[in-house]
């Protein structure tokens, strides 16, 4: 399948605020359920094992006019919860049977309560991940937490989730994550072949497609893109940080690249690759999922760093690993996790003399000119700096 | 007669409404709010009283069948003439005030020359008055400051050039004086001004002369009616500083809700987009406020936003709507933030989008913001009334109608050309009720 | 009513007592090094004072420092300092005021510099920002930092699961206590903890009595502005002390006397006013203009009869929780888990509805705080729900904790007056209709 065709399919999924592909999936067989989730991480394996389709809810983007959603939020609160409420109020999510709200920040946490009040018929759960990373403390809590999720989904689906179901799902997601890592690795190696906007759309498709289809899509894409004749440009290599929850408009991602920056790593849709190694598929599956989170998950701002010595190092480490030349902090306005984390990340970048710039966006930001200018100036300065 | 007056002190204009015991509105007055709320309140009140006199005159003349031709036309002539008298009086005040400022070391040695120059300027200003107030002439504003200020500048500039006096001295004198004049309580002697205005008309019209006696009689009667300020209620943005005791003050929300109810008794939801804030009010069948929401701390999407856009585009605020109405493809504007609006506007124009399309997008953005505030207050279930300065903007109204229908179905939308007086009208009714409260209580007991 | 109160109400014994306690704690903090005491920094919600006392550790609460600086009009420049250092305008101003205070020498209200903490006790309870706040402080102080993760009560059924409780207890046993032992060099003695908890429970009984005294008409207290003073000792460094027991004993006596005399709340201006509006308030107060803000209420006869802010450091009235010497660690866990902002929105909404009814309030006022998403996100829906369930009108205003740029007096007064008049108008029309 040619690249254009794959990307076009991704674009259709991305732009469809009624989620017709998910609706079609649900209608294809009676009794099918859809479980929505918000950033940053939920164990999709369990939803999958329940025979349900996980659906990533990432706000309304820049195409959705928010009227009722604004009625629920003050002006100093970020945009993603208001557009998500708008999706709910306008019945665009009326086919969603369950919603999971991860422990990313107080706004998303409280949105779980809003959802319970507004949509009492939906199975709604605030999903906590541990901040203690000892297997016998945080791990045990998390296993029990997962067990509650399992029984909640069993109730919702009206059937037990078996060990075999879980094993199969873990394997399916292990494969998915391997391909996600391949895409990121490939882009880091040949970013001119894989524009950031395409990787973005490809990863975004994983939020609506069944995971098996998405894995196939990644395979097809990588195969197709090898043969693309795309010329290397004199761009600099940057990491984008801060966009792990509310998503920037696609135009923003394109603008960064147009301004002369190859994005060689990012934190968009971290759920696709937050677990960095294969989850053990034999033994106690919930324990395995718990251990995977505790021992093999990426750092992110909502996760406590127990070791003060390495506070804020993760970003600088990615810069090194990807051979990047600089960092673009692109956080949504009013995003507590990103904005509170940024000074600590920047301190480490300063220590290691890694250049960076910072700007804020909202999912419906309309002005790209200042971003193009900033990113362009940044790219130029990096080039000058490396030439000197 | 007993009069009940409501005064609405807005951030930009102050409005007054005068009502009689039968809930009939007899007069309305408006002035710019300036820095002195006392004066603004006094001026708007006097304007409402003047309006009342004209209403009473109109009634009296009609009753007596006193004028040949149309009574309205005659009263229009009379009003223009009256306005000119008022203008000349203020001009004289301004001149006297200016003279007093020509003193001190800055003017040393030039007092006489500047005095002469001022006399010249004011003579010219006075000479320009009759054509300005002639039938069919258009004035860009009814506020003294606006009319006199602009002309003073250009005449003074010429005067400075020809007499080689420093222009900034004249300007300095004017600036000090206009503030003083503006903040002085309005002059009285309305009867005298009515008389002189009438004389003017009679001078100009031969046919009128014949009717002189017939006109003067009812007119004098109308002017002589004693207008007793039975009760005054103040409201509005600056009402904390209104020169009234606390029990004479009502919140703008309450006044607005009641005012809209008086204008349209079936109103259940009121939207007001003013200069500083946007408010959505839910009222019941008696005009009692059930719920209200205002824009939060962030003033995004208020009237000021349009003012800012107009400045940014270098056109007048009143030109925005008509220009936006020419749009064929509304540009999507996402920011109602006044701080970002300019940047987004420039960005869009730089991308080659048409001015009218971008403007239409901006209007839609404001209305979207208002829609959220309406939603916050409980939405629209029945008749809906739109008030405030932005209600006069067609492009905004068009978007509002569209969005209201999309979100709440077909409902009646009321927009009154006099909607700027909604708050003052409610305040006047509160004044009337407060004064009658004693009577109602007695009635209540009897029942 | 409307009688002038004697000026000596301002010098109530409880007030003097509290003043003395607070000054004493600041002196202990600033002299800690000389006294050989260790200092812990920790937060008000999920504050483990009884446990810290077991190790002789002095308790420093950065939120309290920030609000103290705000009340003394010093927080503005501190916040701006932090913003100059790269902290976003969008984030919590408690954090920025704290960081700014640090950059200005960490001067305590007694004028002496506050020594660096020996341990950061990150009681991660009901507020996401706490996590980042102490990560930021750890960068600065490079001292041991112990995380106590208190899971959010998210499931909407108002219950603490055994899993949550076990998790917190385990962290106390395996992480918090060993760290405090290490920092202080004192061995943990559970009987000492029991003694402290006994004191806590006594004080908590009296606190609840005080808060519930607002059910009287007129209410003898203001449960929001006045409430801030009443919760002071129990929310900060004094829960578990004899001093706190004594403070609440005195306070209870004074309020009993006010009830007997039919008096309303004490205000900074001393007058007892006519109670015209009884309100429930949701959200923290503003600290930069605290008195000005309060005045807008009492000059119009508005009394706050119940507030959720007075539950932020522990909910004792709603479901009868008390610290329990017989179940020391369990009750510490339940205390943390039950703090107001650790409860989900449906439950917070129901609490407000119940307060509205139990305290016969005329309406609900939300003071929405820009800094505090934990409180603020969702308040508009809570307001709507409470209005619908109680049939009483609500109103919404916005301020900030310690950022003076976010307090707009004209704007707030305007809304408050509109709201009070709306209540009055509805009341009158209701009376006419009846």
Per-residue pLDDT of A130-185, as tens digits, reads 999 999 999 999 999 999 999 999 999 999 999 999 999 999 999 999 999 999 99
CB-CB under 8 Å, A340 with C95: yes
Count of CB pairs separated by less than 8 Å, A with B:
52
Q: Stretch A321-327: mean pLDDT, rounded?
A: 97
Of C216, C125, C221, which Cα lies nearest the Cα of C176? C125
What's the pLDDT score for residue B436? 85
> A223-248 pLDDT, tens per residue?
999 888 899 999 999 999 999 999 99
What confidence score (pLDDT) does residue A241 get? 98
B7: confidence class by pLDDT, cuts 50, 70, 90: very high
For the record, the structure tokens of B71 come out as 């009574």
The answer to whether the Cβ–Cβ distance between C380 and B251 falls below 8 Å is no
A366 interface with B at CB cutoff 8 Å: yes
Nearest CA in chain B to C394: B291
* pLDDT value of residue C7: 42
Among A262-266, B215-219, C412-416, top mean pLDDT goes to: A262-266
User: Which is it for strands B25-32 and B13-19: parallel, antiparallel or unpaired?
Assistant: antiparallel
Q: Is the confidence at residue B208, as pLDDT, over 60? A: no
B334, B350, B373: residue with CB nearest A369 = B350
Instruction: Mark yes or no for CB contact C348/A113 under 8 Å.
Output: yes
Q: Quick check: C408 and B297 CB within 8 A?
A: yes
pLDDT of res. A302:
97
Given this model, what pLDDT does residue B379 score? 93
Work out how many CB contacts closer than 8 A connect A with C.
170
**How far A271 CA lies from chain C's nearest CA (Å)?**
20
Position with higher pLDDT, C402 vs B198: C402
What's the total number of domains in chain A? 1
* Strand ranges in B61-157 using DSSP code E only, listed in sequence order: none
Residue C163's nearest CA partner among A147, A123, A284, A289 is A147
Residue with the larger pLDDT of the pair A4 and B447: A4
Nearest to B296 among C398, C410, C425 (CB): C398
H or E element that contains A351:
helix A336-351
Lookup: tokens for B193? 């001004």
CB < 8 Å to B252, chain C: 414, 418
Which pLDDT band, with edges at 50, 70 and 90, does C382 fall under?
A: very high
Pairwise CA distance, residues B346 & B350, whole Å: 6
pLDDT higher at B315 or C181? C181
> Among C384, C411, C418, whose Cβ lies nearest the Cβ of B292?
C418
Beta strands across the sheet bearing C119-124: C57-60, C38-41, C119-124, C145-149
Q: Is the pLDDT of residue B447 over 70?
A: no
Residue B89 class from Cβ within 10 Å (0-12 exposed, 13-18 middle, 19+ buried)? middle
Percent of chain B, pLDDT > 90? 32
| Share above pLDDT 90 across residues of chain C, in percent, rounded to a whole number | 89
Strand ranges (DSSP E) for C247-335? Answer: 277-282, 302-307
For residues B243 and B262, what is the distance between their CA atoms, to the nearest angstrom?
26
* Integer Cα distance of B230 and B19 in angstroms: 10
Kindly report which listed range (A164-168, B288-292, C128-132) carries the lowest average pLDDT score: B288-292
pLDDT of residue B240: 57
Q: Given a cut of 50, is residue C54 above it in pLDDT?
A: yes
Q: Are A293 and A280 spatial neighbours (Cβ–Cβ below 8 Å)?
A: no
Q: Is the pLDDT of residue B348 over 90?
A: no
Residue at A60 is within a domain: yes
Confidence of residue C208 (pLDDT cuts 50, 70, 90): very high
Mutate to test the interface with B, among C400, C417, C426 (most CBs of B within 10 A): C417
**Mean pLDDT throughout B400-408?**
94
Considering only alpha carbons, which residue of chain B is nearest residue C363? B291
Among B183-187, B301-305, B314-318, C109-113, the least confident range? B301-305
According to DSSP, the residues that pair with A237 across neighbouring strands are A262
Query: Which of B236, B296, B302 is the best mutation test for C, with the most CBs of C within 10 A?
Result: B296
The answer to whether residue C265 scores a pLDDT higher than 90 is: yes
Helix axes B212-224, B37-64, angle to 10 degrees: 140
Q: Tokens 């991308």: give the residue.
A: B351
Of A300 and B163, the structure prediction assigns the larger pLDDT to A300
Q: In what order do the strands lie in the sheet with C394-399?
A: C302-307, C277-282, C363-369, C394-399
Return the structure tokens found at B364.
Answer: 């839609």
Residue B299 pLDDT grade (very low, low, confident, very high; cuts 50, 70, 90): low
Nearest by CB: B297 against A67, A75, A368: A75
Q: What are the chain B neighbours of A368 within 8 Å (beta carbons)?
A: 347
- Cα gap C216→C210, rounded to integer Å: 11
Asked if C385 and A117 come within 8 Å (Cβ–Cβ), the reply is: yes
B298 CA to chain A: closest CA distance, Å?
7
Using CB atoms, which residue from A72, A74, A365 is nearest to B296?
A: A74
Report, as an integer, the average pLDDT of C310-322.
96
DSSP state of A275: B
Mean pLDDT of B135-159: 82
Closest by alpha carbon to C409, among C294, C312, C320? Answer: C294
What does the alpha-carbon distance between residue B283 and residue B299 come to, in Å, rounded to a whole number?
24
Task: Please check the confidence at residue C305 and state whether its pLDDT lies above 50.
Answer: yes
Dihedral sign, CA of A63, A67, A71, A74? Answer: positive
Mean pLDDT rounded to a whole number for chain B: 84
Instruction: Give the pLDDT score at A366.
Output: 78
Q: For the domain B266-415, what is the CATH superfamily, name and number?
A: ATPase, nucleotide binding domain (3.30.420.40)
> pLDDT value at position C310?
97
**What is the predicted pLDDT for the residue at B335?**
66
For A328-339, the pLDDT digits (tens) are 999 999 999 999
Burial B252-264 (b: 16+ CB within 10 A, else e): bbbbbbbbbbbbb
Candidate from A92-106, A312-326, B1-15, C349-363 with smallest mean pLDDT: B1-15
Residue C240 pLDDT > 70, yes or no? yes
Compute CA B319 distance to the chain's CA centroid, rounded to the nearest angstrom.
Answer: 19
What mean pLDDT value characterizes chain A? 96
Contact B254 C422 (CB under 8 A): yes
Phi-psi region of A238 (alpha: psi -120 to 50; beta: other; left: phi over 0): beta
How many angstroms away from the CA of A204 is the closest CA of chain C? 27
Asked if B240's CB is within 8 angstroms of C426's CB, the reply is no
CA distance C393 to chain B (A): 7
pLDDT of residue C3: 40
Higher-confidence residue of C14 and B299: namely C14
Domain boundaries of chain B, sorted by first residue: 67-210, 266-415
Assess whether the previous peptide bond of C344 is cis (omega < 30° from 0): no
The stretch B110-125 carries a mean pLDDT of 88
Give chain C's mean pLDDT: 93
Q: C1: pLDDT confidence band, cut at 50, 70 and 90?
A: very low
Residue A109 structural domain? 19-161
- Residues 326-345 on A with a CB inside 8 Å of C are 331, 333-337, 339-344
Q: Pick from A68, A71, A369: which is nearest to B347 by CB? A: A369
Q: If you average pLDDT over residues C230-250, what whole number do you get?
A: 95
Q: State which residue of chain B sits closest to C427, comparing Cα positions.
A: B288
CB-CB contact of B427 with B17 (8 Å): yes
Alpha carbon distance B166, B158 (integer Å) = 11
Choose the closest CB to C147 out of A101, A106, A132. Answer: A132
Confidence tier at C158 by pLDDT (50, 70, 90): low
Mean pLDDT of the region A7-32: 97
Q: A72 to chain C: nearest residue by CA?
A: C380
Question: Helices B167-182 and B111-132, interaxial angle, to 10°?
Answer: 60
Alpha-helix runs per DSSP H in C289-378: 290-298, 328-338, 345-358, 373-376
Residues C135 and C120: their CA atoms lie apart, in Å, by 9
Residues C411 and B71: their CA atoms lie apart, in Å, by: 47
Q: Is there a contact between C86 and A105 if contact means CB atoms under 8 Å apart? A: no
Whichever domain contains A108, its CATH number is: 3.40.50.11890
Residues of chain A numbered 55-74 and touching chain C (CB < 8 Å): 71-74
User: What number is the average pLDDT over the span C341-368?
Assistant: 97
Question: Comparing C-alpha atoms, which of A268, A128, A146, A274 is closest to residue A196?
Answer: A268
Give the residue among A127, A111, A116, A108 at the shortest CA–CA distance from C346: A116
Please tell me whether the peptide bond between A40 and the residue prior to it is cis, using omega within 30 degrees of 0: yes
The Cα of B252 is separated from the nearest Cα of chain C by a number of Å equal to 7
Q: How confident is the model at residue A313 (pLDDT cuts 50, 70, 90)?
A: very high
3-state SS class at C283: coil
Confidence of residue C242 (pLDDT cuts 50, 70, 90): very high
CA dist C244 to A8, C12, C199, C237, Å?
68, 16, 8, 9
Model confidence at C9, in pLDDT bands (50, 70, 90)?
very low
Residue C98 CB contacts under 8 Å (≥ 6 apart), including other chains: C62, C65, C66, C133, C137
Question: Are A304 and C346 in contact (CB < 8 Å)?
Answer: no
Which of the two residues, C120 and B220, has the higher pLDDT score? C120
Give the pLDDT band of residue C8 (cuts 50, 70, 90): very low
| Angle formed by the axes of helices C190-212 and C328-338, nearest 10° | 40
Query: According to the model, what pLDDT value does residue B16 have?
Result: 96
Model-level pTM?
0.90
How confident is the model at residue C427, as a pLDDT?
87
pLDDT at B297: 60
How far is Cα B316 from Cα B251, in angstroms, rounded to an integer? Answer: 31
Among B9, B292, B440, the residue to mutate for chain C (most C Cβ within 10 A): B292
pLDDT tens per residue, range B364-384:
888 988 999 999 999 999 999
Q: Where are the domains of chain C?
A: 7-433
Q: Are C90 and A334 inside 8 Å of each other by CB?
A: yes
Closest-CA residue in chain A for C380? Answer: A72
CB contact under 8 A, C166 and A141: yes
| pLDDT band at residue B69 under the 50/70/90 scheme | low
Q: Does the pLDDT of residue C102 top 90, yes or no?
A: yes
User: Is C422 within 8 Å of B294 when comparing Cβ atoms?
Assistant: no
Residue A176, chain B, CB below 8 Å: the answer is no
- At residue A186, the pLDDT reads 97
Provide φ and ψ at B24, rounded to 5°. -85, 130
Mean pLDDT of A264-273: 97
More confident residue, B85 or A239: A239
Closest among A201, A268, A251, A203 to A364, alpha carbons compared: A251
Q: Is residue B125 within 8 Å of residue B148, measured between CB atoms?
A: yes
Distance of CA A167 to the CA centre of its chain: 24
Cα separation of A72 and A61, whole Å? 18
Q: Is A66 part of a structural domain of the chain?
A: yes
Closest-CA distance, A70 to chain C, in angstroms, reads 10
List, for residues A48-70, the tens digit of each pLDDT value: 999 999 999 999 999 999 999 98
**Residues B45-51, mean pLDDT to the nearest whole number:** 92
Question: Sorting pLDDT into bands at 50, 70 and 90, what band is B67?
Answer: low
């Amino acid at each position: 399948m040619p690249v254009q065709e794959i990307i076009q399919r991704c674009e259709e999924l991305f732009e469809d605020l009624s989620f017709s592909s998910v609706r079609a999936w649900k209608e294809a067989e009676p009794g099918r359920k859809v479980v929505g989730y918000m950033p940053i991480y939920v164990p999709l394996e369990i939803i999958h094992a329940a025979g349900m389709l996980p659906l990533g809810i990432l706000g309304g983007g820049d195409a959705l006019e928010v009227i009722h959603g604004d009625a629920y939020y003050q002006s100093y609160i970020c945009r993603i919860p208001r557009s998500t409420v708008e999706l709910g109020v306008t019945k665009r999510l009326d086919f969603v049977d369950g919603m999971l709200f991860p422990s990313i920040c107080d706004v998303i946490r409280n949105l779980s309560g809003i959802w319970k009040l507004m949509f009492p018929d939906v199975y709604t759960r605030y999903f906590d991940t541990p901040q203690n990373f000892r297997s016998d403390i945080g791990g045990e809590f998390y296993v029990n937490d997962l067990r509650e999720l399992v029984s909640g989904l069993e109730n919702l689906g009206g059937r037990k989730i078996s060990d075999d179901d879980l094993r199969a799902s873990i394997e399916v997601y292990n494969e998915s994550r391997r391909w996600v890592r391949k895409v990121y690795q490939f882009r880091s190696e040949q970013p001119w072949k894989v524009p950031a906007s395409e990787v973005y759309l490809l990863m975004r498709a994983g939020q609506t497609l069944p995971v098996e289809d998405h894995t196939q899509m990644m395979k097809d894409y990588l195969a197709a893109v090898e043969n693309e004749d795309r010329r290397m440009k004199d761009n600099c290599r940057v990491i984008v940080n801060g966009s792990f929850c509310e998503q920037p408009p696609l135009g923003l991602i394109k603008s960064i690249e147009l301004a002369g920056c190859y994005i060689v790593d990012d934190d968009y849709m971290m759920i696709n690759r937050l677990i960095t190694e294969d989850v053990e598929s034999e033994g106690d599956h919930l324990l395995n999922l718990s251990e995977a989170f505790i021992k093999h998950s990426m750092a992110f701002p909502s996760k406590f760093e127990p070791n003060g010595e390495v506070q804020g190092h993760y970003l600088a480490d990615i810069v090194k690993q990807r051979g990047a030349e600089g960092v673009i902090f692109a956080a949504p306005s009013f995003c507590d996790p990103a904005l509170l984390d940024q000074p600590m990340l920047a301190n480490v970048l300063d220590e290691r003399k890694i250049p960076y710039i910072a700007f804020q966006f909202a999912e419906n930001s309309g002005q790209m000119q200042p971003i193009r200018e900033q990113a362009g100036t940044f790219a130029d300065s990096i080039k000058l700096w490396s030439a000197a | 007669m007993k009069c009940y007056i409501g005064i609405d002190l807005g951030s930009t204009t102050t409005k007054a409404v005068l009502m009689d015991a039968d809930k009939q509105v007899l007069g309305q007055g408006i002035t710019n709010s300036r820095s002195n709320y006392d004066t603004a309140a006094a001026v708007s009140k006097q304007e409402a009283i003047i309006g009342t006199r004209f209403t009473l005159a109109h009634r009296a003349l009609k009753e007596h069948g006193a004028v040949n031709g149309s009574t309205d036309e005659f009263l229009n002539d009379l009003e223009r003439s009256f306005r000119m008298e008022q203008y000349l009086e203020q001009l004289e005040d301004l001149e006297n005030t200016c003279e007093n400022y020509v003193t001190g070391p800055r003017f040393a040695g030039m007092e006489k020359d500047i005095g002469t120059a001022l006399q010249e300027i004011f003579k010219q200003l006075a000479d320009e008055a009759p054509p300005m107030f002639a039938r069919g002439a258009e004035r860009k504003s009814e506020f003294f400051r606006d009319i006199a200020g602009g002309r003073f500048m250009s005449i003074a500039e010429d005067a400075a050039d020809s007499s080689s006096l420093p222009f900034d001295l004249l300007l300095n004198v004017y600036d000090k004086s206009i503030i003083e004049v503006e903040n002085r309580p309005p002059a009285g002697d309305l009867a005298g001004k009515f008389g002189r205005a009438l004389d003017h008309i009679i001078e100009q019209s031969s046919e009128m002369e014949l009717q002189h006696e017939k006109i003067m009689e009812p007119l004098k009667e109308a002017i002589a009616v004693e207008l007793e300020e039975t009760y005054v209620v103040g409201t509005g943005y600056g009402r904390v500083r209104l020169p009234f005791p606390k029990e004479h003050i009502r919140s703008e929300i309450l006044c607005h809700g009641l005012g809209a109810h008086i204008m349209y008794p079936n109103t259940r939801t009121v939207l007001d987009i003013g200069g500083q804030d946007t408010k959505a009010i839910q009222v019941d069948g008696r005009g009692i406020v059930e719920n209200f929401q205002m824009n939060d701390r962030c003033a995004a999407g208020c009237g000021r936003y349009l003012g800012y856009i107009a400045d940014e585009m270098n056109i007048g605020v009143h030109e925005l709507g008509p220009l936006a109405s020419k749009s064929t493809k509304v540009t999507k504007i996402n920011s109602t933030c006044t701080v970002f609006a300019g940047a987004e506007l420039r960005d869009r124009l730089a991308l080659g989008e048409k001015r009218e399309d971008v403007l239409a997008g901006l209007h839609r953005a404001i209305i979207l913001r208002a829609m959220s505030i309406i939603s916050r207050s409980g939405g629209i279930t029945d008749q809906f009334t739109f008030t405030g300065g932005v209600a006069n903007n067609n492009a905004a109204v068009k978007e509002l109608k569209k969005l209201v229908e999309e979100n709440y179905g077909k409902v009646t939308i009321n927009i009154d050309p006099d909607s700027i007086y909604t708050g003052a009208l409610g305040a006047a009714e509160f004044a009337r009720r407060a004064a009658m409260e004693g009577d109602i209580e007695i009635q209540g007991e009897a029942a | 009513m409307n009688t002038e109160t004697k000026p000596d109400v301002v010098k109530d014994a409880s007030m003097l007592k509290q003043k003395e306690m607070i000054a004493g704690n600041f002196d202990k903090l600033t002299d800690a090094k000389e006294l050989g005491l260790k200092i812990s920094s920790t937060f008000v919600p999920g504050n483990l004072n009884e446990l810290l006392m077991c190790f002789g550790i002095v308790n420093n609460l950065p939120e309290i420092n920030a609000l103290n600086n705000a009340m003394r009009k010093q927080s503005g420049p501190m916040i701006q300092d932090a913003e100059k250092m790269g902290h976003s305008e969008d984030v919590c101003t408690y954090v920025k005021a704290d960081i700014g205070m640090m950059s200005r020498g960490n001067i305590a209200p007694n004028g002496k510099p506050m020594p660096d903490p020996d341990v950061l006790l990150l009681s991660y309870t009901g507020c996401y920002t706490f996590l980042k706040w102490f990560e930021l402080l750890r960068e600065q102080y490079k001292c041991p930092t112990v995380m106590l993760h208190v899971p959010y009560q998210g499931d909407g059924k108002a219950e603490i699961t055994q899993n949550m409780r076990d998790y917190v207890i385990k962290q106390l046993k395996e992480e918090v206590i060993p760290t405090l032992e290490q920092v202080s060099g004192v061995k943990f003695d559970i009987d000492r903890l029991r003694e402290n908890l006994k004191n806590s429970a006594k004080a908590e009984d009296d606190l609840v009595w005080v808060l519930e005294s607002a059910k009287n008409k007129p209410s003898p207290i203001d449960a929001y502005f006045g409430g801030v003073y009443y919760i002071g000792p129990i929310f900060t460094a004094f829960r578990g002390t004899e001093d706190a027991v004594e403070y609440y004993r005195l306070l209870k006596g004074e309020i009993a006397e006010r009830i007997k005399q039919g008096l309303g709340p004490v205000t900074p201006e001393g007058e007892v006013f006519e109670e015209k509006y009884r309100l429930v308030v949701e959200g923290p107060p503003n600290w930069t203009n605290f008195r000005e803000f309060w005045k807008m209420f009492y000059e119009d006869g508005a009394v706050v009869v119940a507030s959720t802010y007075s539950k932020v450091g522990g909910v004792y009235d709603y479901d009868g929780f008390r610290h329990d010497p017989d179940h020391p660690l369990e009750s510490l866990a339940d205390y943390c888990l039950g703090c107001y902002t650790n409860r989900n929105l449906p439950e917070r909404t129901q609490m407000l509805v119940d307060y509205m009814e139990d305290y016969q309030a005329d309406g609900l006022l939300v003071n929405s705080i820009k800094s505090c998403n934990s409180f603020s996100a969702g308040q508009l829906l809570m307001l709507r729900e409470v209005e619908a369930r109680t049939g009483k009108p609500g109103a919404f205003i916005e301020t900030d904790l310690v950022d003076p740029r976010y307090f707009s007096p004209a704007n707030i007064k305007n809304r408050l007056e509109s709201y009070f008049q709306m209540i009055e108008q509805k009341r009158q029309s209701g009376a006419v209709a009846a």
